[in-house]
Structure 1
Amino acid sequence: MDTINGNKLSKSNMTVLSNSYWILMFSCLFILAGQLLFVKSDVIQEFLPRGVSAYGDGLENGQLLHIPLGDVNQSLLFTYFANVTKGCSWTNVTLFLRHDGLPIVNVFNASYPNFTWVYQPIDYEENFLGDGLQQRLTIHPRQPSSVIFGVVFFLEDAARIQQQGLTKSCTTLFWGRVETLPLNVSSISVDRVDETAAKLVRKNYVQPLSAKWVLDHNKGDDNISANTESILDLKSSDIPTFLSWTILSPTDIGGTLQVDIKFNQDERNSSVFGYLAFGTQENPNRTQFSANSSEVIPKATIIVPYPLAGVWYLSLFANCTEWNESDCQRNISVKVQISLSPCKEGACGPHGRCIQYFSAGLIYSACVCSSGFAGWSCSDGSNALSTAILLTSVLLLTLSNLFFIPAIFLAFRRGFYSQCLLYFVTMFFSSFYHACDQPEFNFCLMPYTVLQFGDFYSALTSVWLTAFIVANPSVSEEISSAMCIGGAVGIAMAVHYNPTSLASFTIPIVCGLGLIAICWTRQSCQMHKCYPGKSYCLKAVLPCLLFSIVGLVCFAFLETEDNYFYVHSIWHISIALAIVFVIPPEGKKFDITKPPSIDHEPLSL
């Protein structure tokens, strides 16, 4: 049985704006207006107050910034600050900037997959507190860069799961302004013009962040076979073969560039090596690769996350190791595949999901990892959970719902058939919902949203109908049915509107407790004695309250990302046992349509 769990169900749920949030927003705008009045400069970009999220494994939670440079050839001044909601602790905020590409963020130093080349991951890194104090950074644009991208996030100190509405909502806001400096400072220039390389033609796909580059049929080259498979006939010599292609901004920089070189035929005693460079063929920050026909996998692969916008170059050298020199006069045929895809070939392995985001005017991809895996493609298993722990978590979260069986049996035995059916439905949906919600050993009997709604709705309706039979209101059967159906309809609307809100959780409980208090007070006044009896209070009400309090404390205040599976299982068990104790006995019921007489005994076990 699940109720509210905002962070566990969807990390992307938006926080409800509070009064303190608006006060913080207007204070940032007031500071902005004051600076615009007294500071005169060429402002090229303004970042109005915007929310900053906690760091995940990359850019999936970051706030992206877009700084267009245009024809700017002088240094820039970046003025910025961050502030938090009143009454909240200062956060540690980090700002990354990168020319012509998205910053490659790896705060926890997670490992990258094999053959990954991280080229110029960041150009500027700034760490500061969200205390409202202004920070300044001088940026020296690199020519011919046309844009600078940035990302802002803060580091969380705790991994406790905060239930929506039960804890104070803290928001971190970021504001910034980029303006030109009056002093003209020469920028770093990179020559990116080279006419000796064979230009590749871009082939687009329907999906975003998907493209490939093949040989240009219109350009003749004796060393290159002009076909769509990019087959190159290389001669064994010291003269390289150059290829070039262009990464566009902003359509390409949010994906992953992959270069594959493999032998096109069954080559023997041959090898190919070369370099991948950005901007110019002789860039000293280039990476080297090699492939040998005698290897088990005779190919070379280079993976470039978030490639910079501009011209990329591939240089290829062929080498023949035959003893007979005449055999080395032949060409070595290789196949070159250059492609762009989301994440790593559109996936994140078995331990993650590739998600595409839209922010700052561009689409970019990022992996959302599970089971303790981390890294660019969720390949870093240094902190991964073992199979035993993953299997234990599934079993605890699903089998803990079997504690509803005593409540189902008791409700049936005592004639509360509607409640019996509802407890069974709660056990069913909660078990299969948690079985579907697991990252590894999961099983989805129905669509996830259906299981989630069924779990939330049946759980809250169980609370309402259980409170109804405990209250035992002295009303007609028609009014009793109307109250039950009205409560069920209201709960359905609340769960559909926002299943993780505090209101959806507390309103059925408060209404149920209020109904019990009113009915028991009325019964006590009519009978001139305490209702229900002392025996029922000690043997039923008191254990029910104890189990309910234990479950609520575990659910609201003790759950973390690490202990979720067994602490949340305690919540299941506690609520199921609380219902068992509080179900009224069948033999002591009286006619609810008539006021109780003085001869009626208080409800007892």
Structure 2
Amino acid sequence: MVVCSASVLDRRPADGLLSDWQDLEGVSKCGWIYVTYSNDIYSKTPQRLSKYSWFGNVRLLHFRVPEDAVIVRWMLTVSRGSGINCGNQNISVHFRAGAPPVINPLQTVFPNSTLVSLAHNITLIVPSGQNTNVTLFNVTHPKSGDWFLAAHLPKDEGKIEQQGLPSCSYVFQAQMFLRRAADLPILQYNIPLSQTLTTSPALFKVLDLSYPLSKHLMNLDVFIRNCSGLLGNDCKLSVTLGSDSLMPGSEVKQNCSGLNACSASLLTPPWKTWLLITLEATQPNYTIAFYISANVTVGCKPPSVPPDFNTATFIRAVIAPQINSSGALTNASSSAGDQSGTNSSEPVCMRSPSVFRDEQDVMSVRFIVSGGNLNVTSDFPTVLTLELLPGDSGGTFAIQLQLNTSSVGGGFSRVKACLTPSSPVLHLNRSQTCTTGWQGWACTDGVSALSYSRQMAAAILLTFSNFFFIPPIIVALYRGYHIEAAIYFFTMFFSTFYHACDQPGVTVMCIMDYDTLQFCDFLGSVVSVWVTIVCMARLQEPVKYVSSTFKKHLYLWNVSGL
């Protein structure tokens, strides 16, 4: 057992400004322990905000919070441009750790079977009499890793603004200030550590909960024992486990006042990261000595692979199906997991089949379940581990699940698939905009959607309006203007099918490439206006002859160019 007592002195200035934070020092019976605090500043380029109509209108900012950060402070600055009659303006800023924030300013409906946790957000107000708003947003003990900020103006009402006049534009800038603590004491499992707490909080970090232990369900327990202070054996302490990600359940707090010993538990700690433990005295100017220890309990893991590993079975079930037609094996590997027929006395609470990683080339990789089929039961879940290497970044990660109903046994025929928060496929696709009144992240909110009959009526009215070219065509043929009549027919034909192909909903009909239809429609419209003006103008014969010859060649070139 390692016994080490330390007292921490905080020489923070009274004003609490970040730029004036000083170093902290701790004195230990095991020697000098220096806990050094440093400051870092990160700034992003100012960006002009847009009114919100879909997720593409937000201004997304990315910050990286290091593992030794104990306080992060964002300074959010909004500046207004020179506008006319600019009233009070609200700006929404959303925060999320680990992934871009999921927001819903329009209060639309999400797709079915989608579990949504909206990001934390704040509202900045720029009053009518001011041009700038500066807001500070603090997060104590922030979660390390990627942090994303999304800022936008309120809903776009679709109002038309006159060009040339000064508009009420808004520019947003975010700056991040960090306070980092170096040389934090490491709390190892089942090794008690003796500490003495004074006026400043005591910080610890638990040994890295990394793979492969952390991929299974487990609990982290922190124990406080043998408290002693001026008022007896009362643990006047407050214990905080975990880091703040601005999401419910990211931190666990326990008040140990009135107890000689207490404990705090954190279910399913984060993977592959250090876990911060903070102890604070619940009474000011109070010194207390205590012992602190941590323990981790693995509550669920798949059965062990048997010692007599059957190589022939593995080759037949995993390797053989991946042999190509030439008889050569592809560049592949397999993560061994749950094997059928294992003899283990451990209780089984999950299945983890072997996953075959097939590196098809330098730019692509695929994962295949051993044997091709996956048996899912209602007794306990089946977990697939798709291990991504550092080089597996960018591109698209697609997962295809198919239910084989021919082998369904029992009274159920539905399978629920859940993805971990760190999986990149959780980012919903917002690369396209919704049409015909559909809204939402996946364009599944049909409250304001146009019905099929209304879409058909709009398409018919728009396309049939081109039939008004028929009277000019008849008049041109009657008076001998055959080239003009051909140009009018050309314009009517391509304009009709261009508008039939340019519909946003399901009433779409394209007889050829969209760009070709669009080009012919625009060309026919311009030429129709030009030949009509030439015919109506009172020009001399030489000028009219040159114009007529030019339009004949232009028409022939246009027809041959198609």
Using structure 1 for the length normalisation, give the TM-score: 0.48
Contact 1:111 1:380 in 2 (8 A): yes
Equivalent in the alignment of 1:451: 517
Compute the displacement of 1:116 (Å).
0.7
Structure 1 residues 109 and 250: CA distance shift in structure 2, 3 A: farther
Deviation by residue 1:430-476 (Cα, 9 ceiling, x = unmatched): 21111001121110112111111222222123223322322333362
Q: Cα offset for 1:487?
A: 13
- Offset, 1:393: 0.3
What letter corresponds to residue 80 of structure 1 in structure 2?
A: T
Distance in structure 1 (CA, Å) of the matches to 2:463 and 2:176:
57
Distance in 2 between the 1:85 and 1:450 partners?
43
Unaligned runs of 5+ in 1: 1-40, 200-213, 270-293, 313-338, 344-363, 493-605
Match of 2:369 among 229, 245, 249: 229
For 2:45 and 2:376, locate their aligned partners in 1 and report how far apart those are by CA, in whole Å. 51
Other-structure match for 1:153: 152
C-alpha distance in structure 1 between counterparts of 2:438 and 2:546, whole Å: 52
The reply to whether residue 218 of structure 1 matches residue 328 of structure 2 is: no
CA distance in 2 between partners of 1:96 and 1:102 (Å): 9
Aligned match of 1:379: 444
Query: What does 1:325-336 align with in structure 2 at a 5 Å threshold?
Result: none
Aligned pairs for 1:580-599 within 5 A = none
Given residue 336 of structure 2, which amino acid in structure 1 is its aligned partner?
Answer: N
Q: CA deviation at 1:149?
A: 1.7
How many aligned positions are there? 356
Q: Does 1:416 align with 2:487?
A: no
Question: Is it true that 1:427 corresponds to 2:427 in the alignment?
Answer: no
Report the Cα offset of residue 400 of structure 1: 0.9
2:114 counterpart (98, 113, 116): 116
Aligned equivalents of 2:337 and 2:86: distance in 1?
A: 62
Cα distance in 2 for residues equivalent to 1:398 and 1:69: 56
Instruction: Please state how far the C-alpha of 1:481 moved relative to its aligned partner.
Output: 2.2
Please say if residues 100 and 249 of structure 1, whose CA atoms lie closer than 8 Å, have aligned partners that are also in contact. Answer: no
Q: Which residue of 2 aligns with 1:174?
A: 171
Residues 181, 111 of structure 1: CA spacing in aligned structure 2 closer, same or farther, 3 A cutoff? same
Structure 1 residue 166 displacement after superposition:
7.1
Residue 449 of structure 2: SS of its match in structure 1?
Answer: coil
- Do the aligned residues in 2 keep the contact of 1:255 with 1:341 (CA within 8 Å)? no
- The answer to whether the 8 A contact 2:92-2:121 is kept is no
Equivalent position of 1:6 in the other structure? none
Could you say if the C-alpha distance between residues 261 and 136 of structure 1 is closer, same or farther in structure 2, counting changes exceeding 3 Å?
farther
The answer to whether the aligner puts 1:464 opposite 2:530 as a matched pair is yes
Paired with 1:256 and 1:117, the residues of 2 have a C-alpha distance of 20
Q: Please give the alpha-carbon distance, in whole angstroms, between the structure 2 residues aligned to 1:247 and 1:109.
A: 35
Compared CA separation, residues 42 and 487, structure 1 to 2 (3 A) = farther
Could you list the per-position Cα deviations for residues 184-220 of structure 1 after superposition, in whole angstroms to 9, with x for gaps in the alignment?
8985266335976569xxxxxxxxxxxxxx9953356
Which digits, 9 at most, give the CA deviation of each residue in 1:499-558, with x for residues without a partner?
A: xxxxxxxxxxxxxxxxxxxxxxxxxxxxxxxxxxxxxxxxxxxxxxxxxxxxxxxxxxxx
User: Judging changes above 3 Å, is the alpha-carbon distance between structure 1 residues 95 and 484 closer, same or farther for their aligned structure 2 residues?
Assistant: farther
Secondary structure of the corresponding residue to residue 433 of structure 2: strand
Instruction: Tell me which amino acid in the other structure corresponds to 2:56.
Output: E
SS at match of 1:459: helix
What residue is the counterpart of 2:189 in the other structure? none
Amino acid at match of 2:335: H
From 89, 92, 111, the counterpart of 1:94:
92
Match of 1:361?
Answer: none
| CA positional deviation for 1:423 | 1.8
Distance 2:525 2:118 in 1: 48
Output the amino acid matched with 2:65.
Answer: L
Q: What's the secondary structure of 2:52's corresponding residue?
A: coil
Please list the CA deviations of residues 55-103 of structure 1 after superposition, one character each: whole Å capped at 9, or x if unmatched.
234x233332222223561222232215356458566543322111111
Q: Match of 1:77?
A: 74
| Secondary structure class of the residue paired with 2:335 | coil
Find the structure with the greater CA-based Rg.
2
1:395 aligns with 2:395: no
In structure 2, do the counterparts of structure 1 residues 234 and 244 end up closer, same or farther at CA, with 3 Å as the change threshold? same
CA distance 1:128–1:410, change in 2 (3 Å)? farther
* Equivalence for 2:359: none
Residue 415 (structure 2) pairs with residue 299 (structure 1): yes
| 1:56 and 2:184 are equivalent in the alignment | no
The one-letter code sitting in structure 2 at the alignment partner of 1:79 is L
| Secondary structure in structure 1 of the residue aligned to 2:490 | helix
In the other structure, the counterpart of 2:271 is: 192
Q: Contact conserved, 1:54 with 1:153, CA < 8 A, in 2?
A: yes
Q: 1:203 maps to which residue?
A: none
Rounded to whole Å, the distance in 1 between the matches of 2:164 and 2:491 is: 27
Summarize the alignment of residues 205-604 of structure 1 with structure 2, pairs less than 5 Å apart: 217-219=335-337, 222=342, 224-226=352-354, 228-229=368-369, 266=407, 268-269=409-410, 294-295=411-412, 297-302=413-418, 308-309=421-422, 340=425, 343=428, 365-438=430-503, 439-474=505-540, 476-477=542-543, 480-481=546-547
Q: CA deviation at 1:224?
A: 4.4
Describe the SS at the equivalent of 2:416: strand
Larger relative contact order (Cα-Cα within 8 Å, sequence gap ≥ 6): 1
Q: Provide the rounded CA distance (Å) in 1 between the counterparts of 2:107 and 2:478.
A: 59
C-alpha contact 2:84 2:166 (8 A) present in aligned 1:
no
SS of match in other structure, 1:96: strand
Q: CA deviation at 1:260?
A: 6.1
Q: Structure 1's 265 and 99: CA in aligned 2 closer, same or farther, altered over 3 A?
A: same
Name the aligned partner's letter for residue 461 of structure 1.
V
Report if aligned partners of 2:90, 2:123 keep a CA contact under 8 Å in 1: no
2: distance between equivalents of 1:264 and 1:105? 36
Please give the TM-score of this superposition, normalised by the length of structure 2.
Answer: 0.52
Alignment CA distance shift 1:114-1:145 (3 Å): same
Query: In 2 relative to 1, CA 235–415 (structure 1 residues): closer, same or farther, beyond 3 Å?
Result: closer
Select between 392-401 and 94-103 the one with higher mean Cα deviation.
Answer: 94-103
- Using a 3 Å threshold, how does the CA distance of structure 1 residues 107 and 464 change in structure 2: closer, same or farther? same
Q: Distance in 2 between matches of 1:250 and 1:64?
A: 24
Deviations 1:6-29 (A, max 9, x none): xxxxxxxxxxxxxxxxxxxxxxxx
Matched AA of 2:521: D
**Aligned to 1:112, what secondary structure does the other structure show?**
coil
Change (3 A) 1:440 1:416: same
Contact (CA 8 Å) 1:374, 1:380: kept in 2 or not? Answer: yes
Residues 445 and 408 (structure 1 numbering): CA distance in 2 closer, same or farther, change over 3 Å?
Answer: same
Q: Distance in 1 between matches of 2:403 and 2:167?
A: 53
Judge conservation of contact 1:93–1:127 (CA < 8 Å) in 2: yes
Mapped partners of 2:64, 2:529: distance in 1: 56
* Alpha carbons of structure 1 residues 115 and 236: separation in structure 2 relative to 1, 3 Å: closer
Cα offset for 1:157?
Answer: 4.6
5+ residue gaps in structure 2?
1-38, 182-200, 204-242, 245-250, 252-268, 273-295, 304-331, 343-350, 356-367
Q: Measure, in 2, the Cα distance between the counterparts of 1:475 and 1:70.
A: 83
* One-letter code aligned to 1:229: V
- For the residue of structure 1 that corresponds to 2:509, the secondary structure is coil
How large is the RMSD of aligned CA atoms in angstroms?
4.7
SS in 1 for 2:369: coil
Residue identity matched to 1:192: W
Structure 1: distance between partners of 2:478 and 2:435: 44
Q: Is the 8 A contact 1:198 1:243 kept in 2?
A: no
Q: Return the alpha-carbon distance in structure 2 between the equivalents of residues 426 and 475 of structure 1.
A: 27
8 Å Cα contact 1:101/1:253 also seen in 2: no
8 Å CA contact 1:253–1:308 kept in 2: the answer is: no
Q: 1:153 to 1:390 in 2, by over 3 A?
A: same
What's the secondary structure of 1:370's corresponding residue? Answer: coil
Secondary structure (helix, strand or coil) at the match of 2:53 reads coil
